[in-house]
Structure 1
Amino acid sequence: MSSPLELAKGQNAAWPDAAVLVEVSGSAVADCDVSALLVDGQHRVASSDDFVFYNQPAAPGATLEAGTPARVRLDLAAVPARVQAVLCVVSVDPDRPPLGALPPVTAVLRGPDGAERARFTLTGLTSERAVVAVEVYRRGPAWKVRAVGQGYDGGLAQAVTAHGVEVHDEAPASPVAGPPPAPRPDRSPTPGPADAPAGPLPPGTSDGERLLRQSTAIFEDAARSTAALRSSVGYADARREQALAEIVADPRLRHGPEHERAAAAAERDHADLVGRARERHDDDLRQLASELAEYERRLPAAMAPWAAGAWQGWRPPEQHAPAVRVGDLHVEEAPWLRFPMLVPVPLPRPLWVDTASGAEAEAVRVTRALVTRLLAAYPAGGLELLVIDLGGGLAPALGALAQPGSRVMTSPAATSVAAAGEVLDSLVRRVDLVQMARSAGALDALDGGAADRLLVVHDFPTALDDAAVGRVRYLVDEGPSAGVQVLLTGELSPVLSGSPLITGLFRESLRLPLEPDDHLAEGWTGTAWRYTPDPGPEDVTVLDGVLRSAAGTTWP
């Protein structure tokens, strides 16, 4: 029998068994309570019935067993389909010392036969009085387990309130009320693969949205595994430094063979700790690479790699895609494993192609690829394109969209200041009309069709005066609710950085540099991810064919 897996904080592992017994053990376990939360993909309970604790010891698929050590038994086949994860929580009463003052407790995960499969020791705690120890969660038809270690100073009341359980002072069966819950960290990557919670959606949700959530789940697993690796390496480094300091402080070990042996032992210990951490990380990423390869084969064109079959003979989809791919992400420790960076559609905030690090030709290539993907996310005629290109560098690359009879570009690119003003004025009027029609309940009577608009301003804000920039600002703020999206290209030069209006636009946009950059950090662990831009396929005829099909100029 293989030895149990020692989980590091953030690490996950597949769970092939039909049941799991989460057992909390240690010399301090008598001071602790154990509970469980059955949560959805957003880590929220449907009702208080999904909270298993000492006064409510059972819920479908989860049972709290009395006695020491404390146990939560999960029958995974009986867990309702709406439940995407079970969170196992360890807590102490408000009048007891915090968990950090007690000897560490360990969450032991056992299979149906009672054999220990994995364990996670809760270390590094200080003032927390409750901590989510482990998470048992769905991944498609299978289940996985993750060591979490997320603590709450406010105790059990704060932990369960953060996941949607209502706590009332007057209800004796509820936990003792504590301080208000701290804001939950955003489970969506700050610019990560998609702005959507992990886990599959309930029945009836589109396949595209399910794919979007699966992307987030895979990315979250990679982020937590990488954070666990970095934490383990940091611990190993600190332990080596402490050992070397103790060697220097001991007069018997400062010189000679004894010093060399002691220093070599410290280095071996460090190498062993780092090696095991990297092995765990590599195992995680190999599993995720397999999931990612299968996942990408099912993506619609707007979200798929350019080499995917979805781009061959492309025609406008019947249904709106939930996101577009704007590049790839990877971590320094695993440059070989690339995750799709997906952005929801319609765009919730502007995209800014930052041209500071690249040439004009590369900026045009990346912008053309982005426009193509955005068009590929919409059914035929679902997105109208308006282009401001005062320098004339982008318009030729979009020529396939400007052919007679195009349903995408009904007017040519604005290449003069006056024409740019007319484009901005028309979009501002569009936003105002949509807002008025919505407030009057008359959206069906709105002139101008139901298509969303995409404004592309190339080399922003060159040659645009303050009034024009102000209208762009208005469209960024008010446009998304009226179906108007904005894509900017340009460089925030030292001169322009003195303008609060332009600086604000730059900061509020999703910046897409032309060269690989590591400025992106996701919201689960704060891990820095390296972004690689999407310049489009090597074969430019692929884009030409997609653009003509989107415009309708190749259809009979």
Structure 2
Amino acid sequence: MTAELVRGQNHPLSEVRLEIRISAGSPVVAAATLGDDSGRVRGAEWVVHPGAPMLPGLEVSRQAAADHRLAVDLAAMPGAVHRVGVLLALPTAGGGPVRFGAVPAPFVAVTALDGTELATYTITGLDAESAVIALELYRRQDAWKVRAVGQGYAGGLPELLTDQHLPEPHRLATAVEEAVAQGLSRSIAPPPAPRAQHGDRPDRPGHVPTQPVASYGGSGNPAPTGGPVDYHHPRRQSAPPPASGEPAPQPADPGTPGDPAPAAVPPSSAPTGGPVDYRHPGRQSAPPPDAPAQPVAPVAGDATGWSMDERLYNQVWGMFEDLARTTAAYRSAVDFAESRLEKEIDQVLADPRSRVGGRAEAAREAARAKHAQLVDQARAAFDRDLDQLTAESEVVEPALPPAYARWDNPVWHGYRVPMEIPMAVRLGDLHLPEDPSLRIPMLVRLPLQRGLWIDSGCRPSVSDDEPFADEDEVRRLATETAVAHAARLLAVHPPGEFGVHVIDPAGSGARALAPLVDTGVLAGPPAAGAAGVADALGRLTQRVDLVQMAVRGGAPDALPPGLDTSEQLLIVNDFPHGFDDRAVTQLRYLADEGPAVGVHLMMVADREDAAAYGPLLDPLWRSLLRLTPVPDDHLADPWVGHAWTYEPPVVPQDSQVLQLVLTQVATARRDWNR
């Protein structure tokens, strides 16, 4: 699983050939230093930077960019190298931001060559600094580890290199800046990505989406591949207006096509060294310059898009990003107030003349009062943003189409089987502990790019003093959650465009699977026993092989006449019962190769129960998106690394909505097959 590091934390590295992936909201210069066993950088020849981008075992980018991939081969490092420091700096050329406090917090991930995230670190708490040591790889007893550093330098790259005790640090910093400037003069901004037209949906296996897909995970994504989650979405254009007393946002320079959007600058009323204004930079609606600042009534579907579904999708993801960033700003402000309080009290205690007596107590009271004032200011701004987002949620939620709506939404009572595939599907809700009542729909783009792992081993705590809930109850909830997900996927696809298969070797999920079985929406009866497992996996594996060969050979018309080319979902219940090593290998194959040709996997299993497979199971676990049948805070966003609480989709008790929807799906399928 991915280790989400905080400043000062370290983590062992299981791989020696690595990529270090850097994501920032503004172009940054990436560099690295090599240190000996005492941490000393012996000279400029031990620094890798855009002007000298390669050393044995290490390569960095030659240009400043918002996204970097550094190649590292620890096995190829010279024996004298015991430390590798990864450096980030804001370039002085190009007129960009001059301090990290004005841009989103940089995100750094250490990954294996297959993209599996080993450790991630979001560099928060920066303000006036323009250079930072992001992290450090270091050798301990012939093993390598990674440490989150996050040491910033307000003096920029020259100060950072000086702190590394390098000779002539200013000359080296100048050489780096000159190399970056030359790269900027040679570079051409890429054109904007093509926009998917409404209705541009896969009509055959192997279709490649024209837009990025939003995905989730906590072990390698957002982002989350199952780590930090990739929540990118088209830029929104609606925002809460500035609060009274705040400066109105100035029009942003459109800049060069393809450049990242400029980050918002903190309001002047924020304390020096305080939090970044994380409000969504793409939400630009504001009252006219001559009008008084007042809340704007939210409107459902006010984001950009070719259709109402696309506008609602973009609006939901903009709400998610806004909540992530405003919460980050609030937490940063509180952390700043706490650190300021500690610093001022330490100053009082450091002076022997003022440690005791009325003077000392007055200084402490003044420090506490300032702390309370800063926290109250941050909370007031945070509450204002929460109120705006809550009002927007109350308008947007009732307007969502079935693919995005909760099961208790009245839109399901008028459900009709759709004639086209929607942009996305809802897999649950997300919220943060500061306001559990504000829940953001968790939307994932279609077609699915990853399978799902419904964790039947997740143990909800009944209370602080009570033991975990009954294991059998959690397993039942996990199967019911899988059925709810499968029912929604069936409901949002046109007739004949989506099929569901079930493997239930011991029949333990018969009761929970009844809605799928009784309504006749399954492609066949649930497979039981070892023979049923082998048959179901063999048929789907063969389908993947045939479609892959046809697509790669450029001859999709050469597929066998009776082959079903619609999207397929395989639900595997009670894993690993009834599975041998061959069956597990087939599952891994379906998880890795299936999504590209329309075959998706949904596992209902407890990882601990399958621990006997050891390393064989780990790639399967990492390739799937983990969801839980009970609330759990295992998902993270890619911007600031918040731990989001996931709420699974719940069908209201005694509601017949699931049966009614599945009955319509089955009827439409029969009519379509005639």
Is the pair's TM-score, using the shorter chain for normalization, greater than 0.5?
A: yes
- Is the Cα–Cα contact under 8 Å of residues 195 and 343 in structure 1 kept in the other structure? no
Match of 1:438 in 2: 551
Deviation at 1:244, TM superposition (A): 0.8
- With over 3 angstroms needed to count, the CA separation of the structure-2 counterparts of 1:303 and 1:444, relative to structure 1, is farther
Superposed, 1:240-389 pairs within 5 Å as: 240-356=341-457, 357=459, 359-389=474-504
Q: Deviations over 1:203-235 (max 9, x none)?
A: 984543333222222111111111111111111
- With over 3 angstroms needed to count, the CA separation of the structure-2 counterparts of 1:540 and 1:203, relative to structure 1, is closer
Fraction of identical pairs, as percent:
39
CA distance in 2, matches of 1:105, 1:373: 42
Q: Which of the residues 129, 134, 142 maps onto 1:125?
A: 129
**SS in structure 2 at match of 1:458:** strand
Deviation at 1:345, TM superposition (A): 2.3
- With over 3 angstroms needed to count, the CA separation of the structure-2 counterparts of 1:469 and 1:158, relative to structure 1, is farther
Match of 2:539 in 1: 426
CA distance in 1, matches of 2:578, 2:478: 18
Q: Which amino acid aligns with 2:223?
A: T
CA distance in 1, matches of 2:442, 2:178: 36
Match of 2:505 in 1: 390
Q: Which of the residues 205, 211, 234 maps onto 1:198?
A: 234
- Is the Cα–Cα contact under 8 Å of residues 496 and 669 in structure 2 kept in the other structure? no
Residue 646 of structure 2 corresponds to residue 496 of structure 1: no
- With over 3 angstroms needed to count, the CA separation of the structure-2 counterparts of 1:444 and 1:217, relative to structure 1, is farther
Q: Which amino acid aligns with 1:216?
A: W
- Is the Cα–Cα contact under 8 Å of residues 352 and 509 in structure 1 kept in the other structure? yes
Structure 1 unaligned regions, length at least 5: 1-41, 46-89, 107-121, 129-151, 174-185
Q: Deviations over 1:48-91 (max 9, x none)?
A: xxxxxxxxxxxxxxxxxxxxxxxxxxxxxxxxxxxxxxxxxx97
CA distance in 2, matches of 1:554, 1:253: 82
Aligned positions, number? 410
Q: Which of the residues 174, 179, 186 maps onto 1:169?
A: 186
Deviation at 1:431, TM superposition (A): 0.7
- Is the Cα–Cα contact under 8 Å of residues 365 and 536 in structure 1 kept in the other structure? no
- Is the Cα–Cα contact under 8 Å of residues 533 and 578 in structure 2 kept in the other structure? no
- Is the Cα–Cα contact under 8 Å of residues 193 and 215 in structure 1 kept in the other structure? no
CA distance in 2, matches of 1:283, 1:308: 27
Residue 638 of structure 2 corresponds to residue 523 of structure 1: yes
CA distance in 1, matches of 2:229, 2:485: 15
- With over 3 angstroms needed to count, the CA separation of the structure-2 counterparts of 1:198 and 1:542, relative to structure 1, is same
Match of 1:459 in 2: 574
Q: Which amino acid aligns with 2:446?
A: V
- Is the Cα–Cα contact under 8 Å of residues 591 and 624 in structure 2 kept in the other structure? no
CA distance in 2, matches of 1:508, 1:430: 20
CA distance in 2, matches of 1:318, 1:324: 15
Q: Deviations over 1:278-323 (max 9, x none)?
A: 1111111211222222222332212211221221142211221222
Residue 607 of structure 2 corresponds to residue 506 of structure 1: no
CA distance in 2, matches of 1:234, 1:496: 40
- With over 3 angstroms needed to count, the CA separation of the structure-2 counterparts of 1:539 and 1:482, relative to structure 1, is same
- With over 3 angstroms needed to count, the CA separation of the structure-2 counterparts of 1:553 and 1:212, relative to structure 1, is closer
Structure 2 unaligned regions, length at least 5: 1-23, 28-89, 104-125, 133-155, 158-175, 190-212, 216-221, 238-302, 460-470
Deviation at 1:195, TM superposition (A): 4.8
Q: Which amino acid aligns with 2:92?
A: V
- Is the Cα–Cα contact under 8 Å of residues 529 and 578 in structure 2 kept in the other structure? no
- Is the Cα–Cα contact under 8 Å of residues 208 and 322 in structure 1 kept in the other structure? yes
Match of 1:36 in 2: none
- Is the Cα–Cα contact under 8 Å of residues 427 and 443 in structure 2 kept in the other structure? yes
Match of 2:529 in 1: 416
CA distance in 2, matches of 1:444, 1:424: 24
- Is the Cα–Cα contact under 8 Å of residues 591 and 623 in structure 2 kept in the other structure? no
Q: TM-score, normalised by structure 2?
A: 0.55
CA distance in 1, matches of 2:187, 2:517: 67
- With over 3 angstroms needed to count, the CA separation of the structure-2 counterparts of 1:247 and 1:490, relative to structure 1, is same
Q: TM-score, normalised by structure 1?
A: 0.66
- Is the Cα–Cα contact under 8 Å of residues 364 and 393 in structure 1 kept in the other structure? no
- With over 3 angstroms needed to count, the CA separation of the structure-2 counterparts of 1:387 and 1:195, relative to structure 1, is farther
Deviation at 1:274, TM superposition (A): 0.9
Deviation at 1:193, TM superposition (A): 9.0
- With over 3 angstroms needed to count, the CA separation of the structure-2 counterparts of 1:209 and 1:459, relative to structure 1, is farther
